[in-house]
Structure 1
């Protein structure tokens, strides 16, 4: 129960290798996998954890090996969090940078494609922010954690008549004016 089948440092090394490899794989898979966890993503994470278990514990099911691995993984996470806090450059490498999806009503499809964000994902985020049309968006940003932050344009009518007329105005046929 407490006896190790390998030296303690081997478990630390195995844990760090698996932690670093998974971090790189998840970073390469995009922000959507992190912030917008779907049932497919959850299954992937569960299967991944099972797949890498034996590579970390080398077949050793002792309590001591499990504790060494747990301390190693939590420690590695704390070190990376501290380094990210200390260095903006390191944070950009590990966590990435926010990406602009929409600016002044203009959608950037190439950014959405690279981040695996569908128009439906974008429209859902816009609806949550209270936007009715893409043209109403000042900016929408894909954050490092996979969430989409939306800032709505603030239009202040100059007179009560302008406010009333804007309620009855027919939408243009522009693609950015389509309801979301």
Structure 2
């Protein structure tokens, strides 16, 4: 009995440490590969707890191996847009400029009832109020309402406004996203000119640069 208690305590603390090292995301925010690793770690920990004939070192080695894999993949995700797309996919626009993309709904196996439920849960009851609805890679739905119908309604106050749109990432950890530049009908020379205005000589110096929802250029340099 004492052996079982010791084995359980060791594996428990090992799993807790592993979860902490994997970050502070909630279960609903985990990417598919992160969720798979989380489930596998919990399963690997349970086997040596239930069966004392299994050497505890087998469970420890397996858990540490999965933790290393997850850490390596997370670093690759941070460094490479292609790896991030391969592991996580990309967000899907379900409502575009106020219109439901039926093909994308079918592709994501997301029915209209699910969509309406998600909108209601976020306080939106009319499709006419939605400018963009984006299904994130974590499975959560992001809503961009029409700006004149947003809280503290600018339309009611007769305040001039500019419609929010989807932010576009241009640089991530020093790497230029050429596909997003094409979406904006811009090229690398245009981006370099933008950076020079802020005394930045190379994209390699930039951690993130993007065009925000108001069309403004935002950047943050590497530490």
TM-score norm. by structure 1 comes to 0.54
CA distances 1:105-130 after superposition (whole Å, capped 9, x unpaired):
21011111111212122112211222
Q: Which structure carries more strand by proportion?
A: 2
Equivalent residue, structure 1, for 2:80:
87
Question: Equivalent of 2:120, from 119, 123, 127?
Answer: 127
Query: What is the CA-CA distance between 1:157 and the residue it aligns to?
Result: 3.7
For 1:1-180, list aligned pairs within 5 A: 35=28, 61-155=54-148, 156-157=155-156
CA distances 1:25-57 after superposition (whole Å, capped 9, x unpaired):
xxxxxxxxx8599xxxxxxx8xx85xx86xxx9
Residues 125 and 150, structure 1, Cα contact 8 Å, conserved in 2: no
Give the number of aligned pairs.
Answer: 114
Query: What is the CA-CA distance between 1:158 and the residue it aligns to?
Result: 6.9
**RMSD (Å) for aligned C-alpha atoms:** 3.2
Query: What is the CA-CA distance between 1:61 and the residue it aligns to?
Result: 1.9
TM-score norm. by structure 2 comes to 0.45
5+ long unaligned stretches in structure 2: 4-26, 31-35, 149-154, 159-223
Q: Which structure carries more helix by proportion?
A: 1
Distance 1:73 1:104 in 2: 42
